[in-house]
Structure 1
Amino acid sequence: MQERTQRETQRDRTREARVRVLGATVERLRRELDAQRRDARSRTMVEQAKGLLAERFGCGVETAHDHLLELAAQAGVEPAVAAALLLGADADAPAEEAARPVAVFDPATYLEPVPDPRSVPDEPVPDGRVGDEPAGALPDAPAEPAPRLPAPLAAARRLAAAAFEAARGPDELARRLGAEALGWLGARAVLLTVLEPDGALRVAGAHDLPPHVVSEWARIPPHCNVGLVRALREGAPLWEADPRRLALVGAAAGLPGPHSCVPLVTGGRTIGAAEITWSPDTAPDAGTRRYVRAVLEHCARRLRELVPAAGGVTDAPWLRALLDAVQAPGALMSPVRDESGRVVDFRVDAVNADAADLPGHRPEDLVGMRLLEHYPGLAVAGLFQEYVRVLETGVPLRRGPGESAGAGEGPPAPSTMSVRACRVGGGVLASWRFHADAADLAGQLAQAQRLGNLGWSRWDLVTGETDWSDHLYTLFGRARAAGPLPLERLADHVVPEDLPQAEHLMRTLLGRREPADLELRVRVGGDVRHLRVMAEPVLDSTGEPVALHTVFQDVSQRRRSAEMLAATRRQLQRERRRIAEERHIAVELQRAILPLPRGPRTLPGLRTAVRYLPAQSRARVGGDWYEASTLADEEVFLAVGDVSGHGLDAAAAMARLRNALSGLACTGAPPDRLLAWLNRLVTHRHRSLTASVVAARFAPSTRTLVWAQAGHPPPVLRRGGGAELLSPPDGVLLGAVDEPRLTATTLTLERGDLLLFYTDGLVERRDRDLSAGFELLREAVAACCGAGPDDLIDHVLEALGAANPNDDTCLLAVQAT
């Protein structure tokens, strides 16, 4: 097995090496192709520029080429750059020979005069990407295409760029910006500042500002309420900064007029900020703002060349050395802002070699990548917001060690992580460390053994050495000072009944040399524990076992739970049998006491029908009953009752009450007195019993029905085409009080009237109100089209649906004849 693993590892390493070689080859070919394309484009632009100059000045190609080289030398740029600037200007502008010395790329020599941007229509030209793009936006940032400058303004921008290239210092750059690039638009004074590593701004150049003011504002701390600092912090221009709210250099110099503070951005990095003071009658409108931002991009690029430390801390050699000296992964990141200046991401500008422990990336792969695009989990973990806070406040971050969600792609994986971060210039310097050392792994292993209640061992069959994990001593109840248990003494702790299984375990491991998994009972002190044993042999090159690796897991609690579950299951089965037997007895008793007629019965003056519906739950045999019999005086006694409870006790109580009421009815007493006597019997003989009853006495000669009730639902009378619930007389449940108030009421029945007595199981449901059940019953009785009591019961049961799942139901229907 080990040899197979080594071969697979070697194959993986070879495959990885081939992939690396192939990737390096592809990258080298891509660079060569890009260089060839750049050379071809440069040669094409130079030839086109030579043709343009030859046409403008009426000279030969060689003379035009010499003139191009002269212009490039004056501007301090490569010939290809000079050619690109010439070709980007208005090609249709008339050429005029210069009769006086002119500045490099003077519009009087090569181009038309540049008009006011506020009077130029916005017509896009092939060149001129720069417009109102957000400060700090990167060239490769996914965004909508920026508005392009009109052709004359694009030409003016290129002239300004050429003038900036000729600047020999920051002060000259500020003068060219204020006097040449922006002066014709109304700019009066200019201040250029560069960003320092601690976030402060240092004055680099000034134009038309008093020297003492420039000296006083030489260094602006990062927490001052200054317009330049605010524009830098928000990453967006302040075109008309309010001197009442912000400190402004131009206002401090006593210059009236609008003041604009604009970040200086080049190559996706903010290197500083510029303040422009305009003439009092000038206001930077939309056209001016677009042109100013385009010009300031060229100005920022030249300023960074003139002041190498301008915001470019990521390029500083000392920072690279600092990152390499940090004994943890580290990176310097610059902010990426949206149009409102809000930080929406960070771009990695520099990393050290230890950053290779980031999942799936090499250090060189990290440079230039967007943080949230590749590690979206940083936002979920709150780390991205912490970086933004460090950038905005300058307060260093110290976080962890603690649990942190995985930052890479895919599902987040928890890990222990420490993070440090501080602001450096306009960016954030961060370092981090994942805590996965040996101590953490040992702690995780100990936690896994404790939670799983398991331990591991290794028995060396050659040297006889034994190694146990800490928790295995706990499982065997053995002191650690006593050392691990030798393999030959393991059987001493196994209960005698399980010794055959222990022998089978050793035969499997040492004889057949196969892994084994079984359960043994071992004695630990005065207790017996169930241990699951999972073991496998370690074989040498000849196939002989040289060691045993074993994992023991205490499953005693699981076994006890299984035994308790089996005992509970057996008890439940016995209970089910008892309930079934009791139900059978209750049903037989109910049938014996309460026989149901096969069809309608005829009594003096009445035709009757009875129906009994047991509850859907087979275990809930109730105590519902009825009585319909002829008394000695030829009157008819009717009753329907319901005893509380279910099962055998309810059936027995039903028998007692029914027989008692039937006997009392023979006295000829009215129904209310009968119920009073029955209540006295219940309260004195059966204290725990309650019941409801409706009782009636019908005289055939007069068709009068006298009835009373004790907590029972009222009957329903159907007469003609309608139905109504009878208003019940006074009465409460039997057994509720000792001396209840019981009254009776009299009803005269007409020939054909139908009267339905019933128990509460007919109208009660858990999913509806009782009053709704009564209304459904009344509507069902009214809608019955049948002629007899049997038809009425059938129609009611069909209209109200299935039987009550929790209670029995008894119905007694009578019809006057």
Structure 2
Amino acid sequence: MRESGGLALVRRIGRRVEALGRRARRSHRLAFVVLLLVQLVIAIASRVWMTLVPASFLIVPLVVGGVLLQFGELVALTGITTALGSFAVLSRGLTLPRLGFVLVLLVVGWILITSAKVRSRLGVAGTRSESMLMELRDTLTAQGEMPKLPSGWRVEVAIQSARGSTFSGDFVVSTMHGDILEVALVDVSGKGIDAGTRALLLSGAFGGLLGVVREEEFLSSANRYIRRQDWDDDFATVVHVVLDLRTGDFDVRTAGHPPAIHFDAWTGRWQTRDADGPLLGLMESPEFKVNQGQLKLGDALFLYSDGMVETPRRDIGRGTDRLIGHAERLVAQGFLGAAAHLVASAGGPGDDSAIVIIHRTPA
């Protein structure tokens, strides 16, 4: 019973602390006043009981203020903390270590103020800017989720950002209307977080176009949208697939993108499905050809970005052969988990890599 009561007490205290933290994040003025009072108490206690309360405790509330406060409030807290620290330390006598402590306070405050100034450009304070970035990342990830396919079909998606960033210039959008599945794999110019903002913008726009415009007009509509953005020397490549889930018939259209790869389970052959088309955003009214085929039982269709096949030391042709070699080893397991495996084994670490595998599972 005692252990249960103690555990309940700890939980209540934890909830109170969490509630206070949420309230402090919402009310910056309240947090500023509380931190100011804490700094005042620490400074007085350090002056009275210098052996029990070191003046270095002043750094802790200052760091907390860097997380919770707005830019102007943080500047005020830094100045007041420096003044209180100087009073608590230098009133005992002017020595080099005490001057060094005041200098450390100033340096810590300067670092926190610099960081807060960057966040203030977004009009948000504290950890809210980081939360916004995480929400944007989650939105980009959620838009790449595939619709639920009927029995006999399986689709896998894997995306790996350059240099371990959580933002990627590669993204996938898809929709299903009736028995028609539309998938577009897009590669935005740039790498990692540099291309992440444009990828987020385009993923919403391209996701809205899928299933709304006619399949053969999707790339033309996407090209007009990018042209309206008036970006300087920025472009996007796309591979767009329209698949009839009843018959397995598919259309592939590409815009400056590596060709899709079709695995024929009956012959064991691998065939590239190329449909030459210009990069999106560079021409006013481009034309996009179509490559048609059919997925029979056991067949698979691979869509991938250039990060999977191209490196500074290897051209796309050799990279495609290498990707096929990796994929061929996964035929026996029915390509189960193949997307994540191929991104990890064939994807280039210095570029964004993405792959989509559509597999018509055998009976």
**TM-score after normalising by structure 1:** 0.27
Distance 2:360 2:261 in 1: 14
Task: State the Cα RMSD in Å.
Answer: 3.4
Q: Tell whether the 8 Å contact from 2:173 to 2:203 is kept in structure 1 after alignment.
A: yes
Question: Which residue does 1:766 correspond to in 2?
Answer: 312
Distance 1:711 1:611 in 2: 21
Question: Which residue does 2:210 correspond to in 1?
Answer: 665
> What displacement does 1:668 show?
5.5
Question: Which residue does 1:804 correspond to in 2?
Answer: 348
> What displacement does 1:728 show?
1.2
Of residues 212, 219, 222 in structure 2, which corresponds to 1:675? 219
> What displacement does 1:666 show?
2.0
Q: Deviations over 1:761-792 (max 9, x none)?
A: 21222333332211101212223234444333
Task: Please say if 1:706 is aligned against 2:225.
Answer: no
Q: Tell whether the 8 Å contact from 1:583 to 1:648 is kept in structure 2 after alignment.
A: no
Query: Kindly, what percent of the aligned residue pairs are identical?
Result: 24
Distance 1:808 1:798 in 2: 12
Distance 2:145 2:231 in 1: 36
> What displacement does 1:694 show?
0.8
Q: Deviations over 1:241-276 (max 9, x none)?
A: xxxxxxxxxxxxxxxxxxxxxxxxxxxxxxxxxxxx
Letter in 2 for 1:625: F
Distance 1:583 1:772 in 2: 40
Question: Which residue does 2:270 correspond to in 1?
Answer: 724
Q: Tell whether the 8 Å contact from 1:690 to 1:735 is kept in structure 2 after alignment.
A: yes
> What displacement does 1:727 show?
3.4
Question: Which residue does 1:634 correspond to in 2?
Answer: 179
Of residues 138, 154, 177 in structure 2, which corresponds to 1:607? 154
> What displacement does 1:679 show?
0.3
Q: Deviations over 1:552-588 (max 9, x none)?
A: xxxxxxxxxxxxxxx9xx99x969x969x98985554
Question: Which residue does 1:541 correspond to in 2?
Answer: none
Distance 2:209 2:256 in 1: 19
Distance 1:623 1:712 in 2: 14
Question: Which residue does 1:751 correspond to in 2?
Answer: 297
Q: 1:616 to 1:622 in 2, by over 3 A?
A: same
Distance 1:584 1:811 in 2: 28
Distance 2:164 2:118 in 1: 16
SS of match in other structure, 2:336: helix
SS of match in other structure, 1:658: helix
Distance 2:296 2:218 in 1: 26
Distance 2:172 2:250 in 1: 17
Distance 2:333 2:214 in 1: 33
User: Which of the two has greater helix per residue?
Assistant: 2
Mapping 1:482-493, distance limit 5 Å: none
Question: Which residue does 1:590 correspond to in 2?
Answer: 137
**Structure with bigger RCO (C-alpha 8 Å, 6+ apart):** 2
Q: Deviations over 1:93-115 (max 9, x none)?
A: xxxxxxxxxxxxxxxxxxxxxxx
Question: Which residue does 2:337 correspond to in 1?
Answer: 791
Q: 1:763 to 1:585 in 2, by over 3 A?
A: farther
Of residues 196, 212, 225 in structure 2, which corresponds to 1:651? 196
Letter in 1 for 2:354: C
Distance 2:243 2:193 in 1: 33
Once the two structures are overlaid, the 10-residue window that deviates more, 804-813 or 594-603, is 594-603
Distance 1:661 1:813 in 2: 20
User: Which of the two has greater strand per residue?
Assistant: 1
Distance 1:598 1:649 in 2: 23
SS of match in other structure, 1:726: strand
Mapping 1:63-212, distance limit 5 Å: none
SS of match in other structure, 2:155: strand
Distance 1:649 1:616 in 2: 12
Distance 1:641 1:732 in 2: 14
Q: Tell whether the 8 Å contact from 2:162 to 2:192 is kept in structure 1 after alignment.
A: no
Letter in 2 for 1:610: V
Letter in 2 for 1:656: L
Q: Tell whether the 8 Å contact from 1:604 to 1:634 is kept in structure 2 after alignment.
A: no
Q: 1:786 to 1:609 in 2, by over 3 A?
A: farther
* Alignment coverage as a number of residue pairs: 241
> What displacement does 1:731 show?
0.5
**TM-score after normalising by structure 2:** 0.57
> What displacement does 1:624 show?
0.9
Q: Deviations over 1:124-183 (max 9, x none)?
A: xxxxxxxxxxxxxxxxxxxxxxxxxxxxxxxxxxxxxxxxxxxxxxxxxxxxxxxxxxxx
Mapping 1:378-397, distance limit 5 Å: none
Q: Deviations over 1:677-724 (max 9, x none)?
A: 110111123433311111111112221101211111112222226342
> What displacement does 1:649 show?
6.1
Letter in 2 for 1:675: L
Distance 2:333 2:143 in 1: 21
SS of match in other structure, 1:740: coil
Q: Deviations over 1:16-52 (max 9, x none)?
A: xxxxxxxxxxxxxxxxxxxxxxxxxxxxxxxxxxxxx
Distance 1:667 1:810 in 2: 25
Q: Tell whether the 8 Å contact from 1:723 to 1:781 is kept in structure 2 after alignment.
A: no
Letter in 1 for 2:331: C
Distance 2:325 2:356 in 1: 18
- 5+ residue gaps, structure 1, are 1-566
Q: Deviations over 1:589-634 (max 9, x none)?
A: 122232288999534763111112122254x832211123311x33
Q: Tell whether the 8 Å contact from 1:621 to 1:808 is kept in structure 2 after alignment.
A: no
Question: Which residue does 1:741 correspond to in 2?
Answer: 287
Question: Which residue does 1:99 correspond to in 2?
Answer: none
Distance 2:211 2:226 in 1: 19
Q: Tell whether the 8 Å contact from 1:780 to 1:795 is kept in structure 2 after alignment.
A: no
Question: Which residue does 2:170 correspond to in 1?
Answer: 624
Letter in 1 for 2:206: L
Letter in 2 for 1:783: R
Distance 1:697 1:740 in 2: 20
Q: 1:650 to 1:676 in 2, by over 3 A?
A: same
Distance 2:224 2:142 in 1: 27
SS of match in other structure, 1:667: coil
SS of match in other structure, 1:595: helix
Q: 1:650 to 1:578 in 2, by over 3 A?
A: farther
Letter in 1 for 2:339: I
Q: Tell whether the 8 Å contact from 2:185 to 2:304 is kept in structure 1 after alignment.
A: yes
- 5+ residue gaps, structure 2, are 1-106, 120-126
Q: 1:679 to 1:786 in 2, by over 3 A?
A: same
